[in-house]
Structure 1
Amino acid sequence: MIRCWRLDDGRQSLVLGSGNDRLAEVVYWGSRLPDAEDLVTIYRANEIDVTGGMLDVNPELSVCPEAARSFPGQPGLILRDGSGMPFLPKFRFDSADQGENALRLTFRDATHGLTYVASFRINPATHVVEAKAELECDSPIHLHWLSAPVFPAPQLSDEMIDFSGRWCGEFQMNRVPWSPGMRYRENRTGRTGHEHFPGLILPCRGATNAAGDVFAFHYGWSGGHRMVAEELPDGRRQIQFGHAARVENNAKQRFETGVLYAVYSDDGINGCAVAFQRHLRDEVVDFPFPDRPRPVHYNCWEAVYFDHNLPELKEIAALAAELGAERFVLDDGWFGNRDDDTRALSDWEVDPRKYPDGLAPLIDHVHALGMTFGLWFEPEMINPDSDIHRKHPEWALGSEDQILGRHQKALNMALPEVRDFLFDRVGRILGEYEIDYVKWDHNRVLPLPDAAQTRGSYDLIDRLRAAFPATEIESCASGGGRIDFGILKRTHRVWLSDSNDAIERLRMQHNAAIFLPMAVTGSHVGPRICHTSGRTVDIRFRAWVAAQRHMGFEMDPRELTQDEARILKEVTGWWKDNRDWMVQADILRLDSPDPAVIAEQHLAQGGGRFVVFAGKQDTSKQIAPRPLRLTRLTRDAMYRVTLRNRADAPTLSRGNPHLKSDSMTVSGGYLMSHGLTLPWSFPETMWVLEGELV
């Protein structure tokens, strides 16, 4: 007997089938099929032939490939019983529950007392498929590996794109060709990680940013993941995502994966990016005040570090407000005896030496300047040199002789007493003062991977959110070490990187936008001489790079010259004037003909206006700029295009291209087929072009 199910939206169809009561498999995923398509035929057409050297029947590439079925690749589930003996489950169909946009398939292994559930939900507005696996057991067992529901990979894909990185160098794209065997990536640091962002892009042959078929995945879990992209000996390909292997340290009766977010696009990588951006912003993140404009941030970290002095902070706050800041964030150093990073983490009480009257005088001053107030915490960490560690050394996760990270250990978030303590201490501060924003940091990897740690952190954040629903939270982990849809279900902004080097951020922001919208991506104007790279960057470039995302400042404003302050104020004013439509805009990667230029187009909902940022990261190999083609415009509509910062043209730009002297009105067809010819520019500069539908 063959059973089939389908989920559809306006772009795509997802078809699953099950034969002989075995686990279902995805037999079709791609452009939308006609409503009258015969699904049994689709199921049968998915079968491949058998020849010499093969089994007589090909094992299913199911949503959870089973080793007991002679599957030749990586299984989707690895279990052991209480004595350590391996289980080899054989699941049989139990039931199917299908709604308008959701499907839940249940399978049972009666011999081993196991129930497996694969859930799928398709969002007709964002085109994102959410998939999740659950396992229930009649008696406690040990889980080694559980994959989210497995998807097949396209046969016409020649390469895969995944993401690596480091501190101050997140979201680096890797292109790896498909070949027989397995691409295996695993993050065992206990957090999402700079090193292995849980994302994968599969472009089909000939696909670009703006055209072609592309499939993409993101695993929404903050505790470290495992990815398998495998080409089987018979040529079929599978994609598996799940928690990092062996992170369930105790035998249990119930397990579940994080949500696997999957996207199909017939519009290039941008089709995937827009789907992820909209889904995260509109379906995942729960903003306390969704209609409130995103405020310009000021963070004092790179201005004062641990040297908190109230008169100095008040002076800095006044200057930040004058520049256009709307939120002042007091970073590390306000609590305990925290004069450096070696002590006081977990002693969440205001330092009376630095703040003899508490935080109220600074907060009142910030409010009088028209800004809201934010505060830094690192709740999941503890210094050995702290009152709490001396009182409760058993609260620290890991062994006594573990290697420290930034002079600190992690608290064991699986312990209810630890979560209760943190809820009390952090909640006391949030309850005593008017704090509308928390920068929540996580500055070390864990001494051992443990899924219970992540669940405990989620639980604490959820409790604080329920108690203080008006407080917004930023996820920071030495910059971009904890960015994923799992943490963003509980937070509202991410600190993309600790690097405020505008060149580095230009690259990182561009790649991160495949998954992250402007609304959640913090980007700050850093010091003239970057503290993490030593590079000196002009204020114009620093300001425009920050204006591509959720804008802020993170420098000592007293270092600014009069001219620098004027420029920063002007760009900040421009961002405020445009943020309401930009926060809802789609960030589209442009296929730049010049590798030195990183360009993107922010297109308003409805397509009535856009802004193009063309950042030059390096020296061009050719002497004159090549035309930059835009995307997703209406071909026969007319657009007025203006070079917003034409006054920034250097003296070596000696010609007179149209945009350098005037606006121009041209068709969408021209902009997409030929493109915009920009003036010549130096490296480390940005052209900003505004477009409006005439």
Structure 2
Amino acid sequence: MIRSWRIDGKGQTLVLASAEDRLPCVAYWGASLPESEDLGAIFAAQDLDVTGGMLDANPELSICPEAARSFPGQPGLVLRDGAGAPVLPSFRHVGDDKDGDGLTLDYRDDTAGLAYRARFHINPATGLIEASATLECDAPVRVEWFAAPVFPGPQLCDEMIDFSGRWCGEFQLERTPWRAGIRARDNRTGRTGHEHFPGLILPGRSATNTAGEAHAFHYGWSGGHGMIAEELPDGRRQVQFGHARDTQSLPGTRFETATLFVAFSDAGLNGCATAFQRHVRDRIVTPARPDTPRPVHYNCWEAIYFDHDVDELKKIAEQAADLGAERFVLDDGWFGRRDDDTTSLGDWTVDPRKYPDGLTPLIDHVLARGMSFGIWFEPEMVSRDSDLCRAHPDWVLGADNQIPGRQQMVLDMAREDVRAHLFDAISAILSNHAVDYVKWDHNRVLPTPDAAQTLGTYALLDRLRDAFPQVEIESCASGGGRIDLGILQRTGRVWLSDSNDALERLRIQHDAALFLPLAITGSHVGPRTCHTSGRVFDIRFRAWVAAQRHMGFEMDPRELTDHEAEVLRRVTGWWKDNRDWLVRADILRLDSADPAVIAEQHLAEDGARFVVFAGKAATSDQILPRPLRLDRLQSDAIYRVELANRADAPRLSRGDQVLKSGPLELSGRFLMQHGLALPWSFPDTIWVMEGQRI
């Protein structure tokens, strides 16, 4: 007997099918199939031949491949019973429910006392598929590995793209050829990590940003993930995502994967990217103030570090407001006796030495300048030199002789008393002060990875969001160390990187746009001399790079010359004038013919306008710029395009190009097929080109 199911949406079809009531496989996932398609025939078309050196039948590459079926690759479930013996389930169908855009499949192994449920849902607006699985057990078992529903890897795909990184160097694309065996990640840091963003992209053969087929995956979990991309000896490929191995350490009777988000595109990597951007913005993040424009941030960290002085902070606030800031964020150093990073984490009371009258005078001053007020916490951490650690040494996670990180330890967030204490301490600050924003930091990895730590953090964040729904929370973990759709269900913004080096951020935020929209991605104008790289960049480059995302400043405004202040006001004004449509725009990565140019196009939701940012990240090999082709314009429409920053052309740009003096009117087809040649420029500069459909 063949069982089959299909769900459709946003130009794609997902077909699952099985024989003899066994677990189904993904029989098809791609461009929309005709409604009349015979799903049984599709399943039959999956049959593979048998030849020498093989079993007499091919074990299914199901949504949870079973070792009991002699599956030749990695199984989707590895577990042991209470005595430590392996359990090899063999599931059979017991029920299913097709409800609109969703599908639930139920299977059971009566002998092993296990029930498996898989859920699939395709969002009709964004096209993203959400897949998850649960396991319920009659007796406690230990789970070593439990994959979310498994998808096959496409055959016309020669490489995979996953992500590595480091502090101040997040979202580095790693391109690996498909070959026999496994490409695996097992993130043991206990958080999402700079090193292991839980994403995978499978570009079709010859796919680019703007053309070709692509499949993309993201595991929405903040506690460290495992990924397996495996090519079997018979040529089949599978993709598995789950919690990092052995992080669910205690025996239990119920286990659940995080949601695996998957996207298909027949319009290049941008098709997957925009599906994720829209889904994150409209379905994952719940804005604290949805009807309020995204405010321009000012964060004081790189201006003062731990040197808090109320009078100086008031002066800085006045200058920030004059530059266009709309939110003032007080960073680390306001609490306990926090004069450096060795002390006071956990003591979330205002330091009376620095703030003898409390935070209210500074907050009132900030509000009087037309800005709202935000504040920094690092709730999951504790300093050994703190009142909290001295009172509750048993609240520290891990062994006494562990290696500290950034001179600090980790609180055991699985403990209810720890979460209750933190809720009371944070609530006291939020209840008694006009705070509309919390920068929630996480500056070290865990001593041992443990899923319970992540669930505890989720529980605290959920409770705080319920109590203070108007307070926006930013996920920061030494920059981009905890960015995933699990944490974004509880926060409204991410701090993409601790690097305010404009050249580094140009690349980081460009590659992060494969998953993240502008509305939630913080990007700040850093100081003239970058504190993390030592490089010096012109204010125009720094400002326009920050204007590509949720804009802010993080520097000492007292260092600005009159010229620099004027440039910053002008670019900030441009961002404010355009932010209402930019926050809902698609970020399209452009295929630049010049590898020195990192370019992207922000296309308005209605397609009527766009802005192109073309950053010069290095010296070009050729003398003059190559034409830059745009994406997703209306072919037969005419667009007026002009440079927003034509005054930035240097003396060595000596030609009489029309773009340097006024607009051009060109068809969408020309802009997409030929492209536009921009003026010559130095490295570490950027051109900003605006377009309007006329």
TM-score by length of 1: 1.00
Q: Which runs of structure 1 show a deviation greater than 3 angstroms over 4 or more consecutive aligned residues?
A: none
- Give the count of matched residue pairs: 694
- Kept after mapping to 1: 8 A contact 2:10/2:126: no
Residue 321 of structure 1: aligned partner: 321
Residue 665 of structure 2: aligned partner: 665
Report the Cα distance in structure 1 between the residues aligned to 2:638 and 2:684, rounded to whole angstroms.
31
Residue 368 of structure 1: aligned partner: 368
Residue 386 of structure 2: aligned partner: 386
Residue 253 of structure 1: aligned partner: 253
What do residues 195-240 of structure 1 show as CA deviations (whole Å, max 9, x unaligned)? 0100000001011000000000000000000000000000000000
**How big is the shift at 1:291?**
2.0
1:624 maps to 2:606 = no
Residue 479 of structure 1: aligned partner: 479
1:508 maps to 2:508 = yes
Consecutive unaligned residues in structure 1, runs of 5 or more: none
After TM superposition, the structure 1 = structure 2 runs for residues 98-137 of structure 1, keeping only pairs within 5 Å, are 98-137=98-137
Report the Cα distance in structure 2 between the residues aligned to 1:524 and 1:483, rounded to whole angstroms.
17
Report the Cα distance in structure 2 between the residues aligned to 1:595 and 1:658, rounded to whole angstroms.
25
After TM superposition, the structure 1 = structure 2 runs for residues 16-27 of structure 1, keeping only pairs within 5 Å, are 16-27=16-27
**How big is the shift at 1:290?**
1.3
Report the Cα distance in structure 1 between the residues aligned to 2:583 and 2:563, rounded to whole angstroms.
29
Report the AA paired with residue 184 of structure 1: A
Greater Cα offset, 288-297 or 367-376: 288-297
**How big is the shift at 1:662?**
1.4
Report the AA paired with residue 568 of structure 1: L
Consecutive unaligned residues in structure 2, runs of 5 or more: none
Report the AA paired with residue 650 of structure 2: P
Report the AA paired with residue 223 of structure 1: G
**How big is the shift at 1:364?**
0.3
- State the secondary structure of the residue aligned to 1:459: helix
Residue 229 of structure 1: aligned partner: 229
Report the AA paired with residue 382 of structure 2: I
- State the secondary structure of the residue aligned to 1:462: helix
Residue 243 of structure 1: aligned partner: 243
Report the Cα distance in structure 1 between the residues aligned to 2:656 and 2:491, rounded to whole angstroms.
48
Report the AA paired with residue 4 of structure 1: S
TM-score by length of 2: 1.00
Residue 535 of structure 2: aligned partner: 535
Report the AA paired with residue 631 of structure 2: T
- State the secondary structure of the residue aligned to 2:642: strand
- Kept after mapping to 2: 8 A contact 1:96/1:106: yes
**How big is the shift at 1:10?**
3.2
Report the Cα distance in structure 2 between the residues aligned to 1:10 and 1:625, rounded to whole angstroms.
37
Residue 29 of structure 1: aligned partner: 29
Report the AA paired with residue 300 of structure 2: C
Report the Cα distance in structure 1 between the residues aligned to 2:519 and 2:10, rounded to whole angstroms.
26
- State the secondary structure of the residue aligned to 2:104: strand
1:464 maps to 2:464 = yes
Residue 408 of structure 2: aligned partner: 408
Report the AA paired with residue 140 of structure 1: P
Residue 58 of structure 2: aligned partner: 58
1:71 maps to 2:71 = yes
- State the secondary structure of the residue aligned to 2:230: strand
Report the Cα distance in structure 2 between the residues aligned to 1:382 and 1:166, rounded to whole angstroms.
23
1:395 maps to 2:395 = yes
Residue 148 of structure 1: aligned partner: 148
After TM superposition, the structure 1 = structure 2 runs for residues 525-564 of structure 1, keeping only pairs within 5 Å, are 525-564=525-564
Report the Cα distance in structure 2 between the residues aligned to 1:429 and 1:628, rounded to whole angstroms.
50
- State the secondary structure of the residue aligned to 2:417: helix
- Kept after mapping to 2: 8 A contact 1:474/1:493: yes
What do residues 367-415 of structure 1 show as CA deviations (whole Å, max 9, x unaligned)? 0000000000000000000001001000000000100000101000000
Residue 586 of structure 2: aligned partner: 586
What do residues 148-193 of structure 1 show as CA deviations (whole Å, max 9, x unaligned)? 0000010000000001000000000011000000001111100000
- Kept after mapping to 1: 8 A contact 2:122/2:128: yes
Report the Cα distance in structure 1 between the residues aligned to 2:29 and 2:50, rounded to whole angstroms.
23
- State the secondary structure of the residue aligned to 2:570: helix
Report the Cα distance in structure 2 between the residues aligned to 1:634 and 1:267, rounded to whole angstroms.
15
Percent identity of equivalent pairs: 69
- State the secondary structure of the residue aligned to 2:42: helix
Residue 270 of structure 1: aligned partner: 270
After TM superposition, the structure 1 = structure 2 runs for residues 73-222 of structure 1, keeping only pairs within 5 Å, are 73-222=73-222
- State the secondary structure of the residue aligned to 2:170: strand
Residue 572 of structure 1: aligned partner: 572
- Kept after mapping to 2: 8 A contact 1:657/1:677: no
Residue 687 of structure 1: aligned partner: 687
- State the secondary structure of the residue aligned to 2:601: strand
**How big is the shift at 1:82?**
1.1
Report the Cα distance in structure 2 between the residues aligned to 1:252 and 1:595, rounded to whole angstroms.
52
Report the Cα distance in structure 1 between the residues aligned to 2:512 and 2:391, rounded to whole angstroms.
42
- State the secondary structure of the residue aligned to 1:351: coil
**How big is the shift at 1:283?**
0.4
Residue 518 of structure 2: aligned partner: 518
Report the Cα distance in structure 2 between the residues aligned to 1:11 and 1:131, rounded to whole angstroms.
18
What do residues 124-157 of structure 1 show as CA deviations (whole Å, max 9, x unaligned)? 1100000001000011110100000000010000
Report the Cα distance in structure 2 between the residues aligned to 1:391 and 1:141, rounded to whole angstroms.
36
Report the Cα distance in structure 2 between the residues aligned to 1:504 and 1:576, rounded to whole angstroms.
24
Report the AA paired with residue 361 of structure 1: P
- State the secondary structure of the residue aligned to 1:516: coil
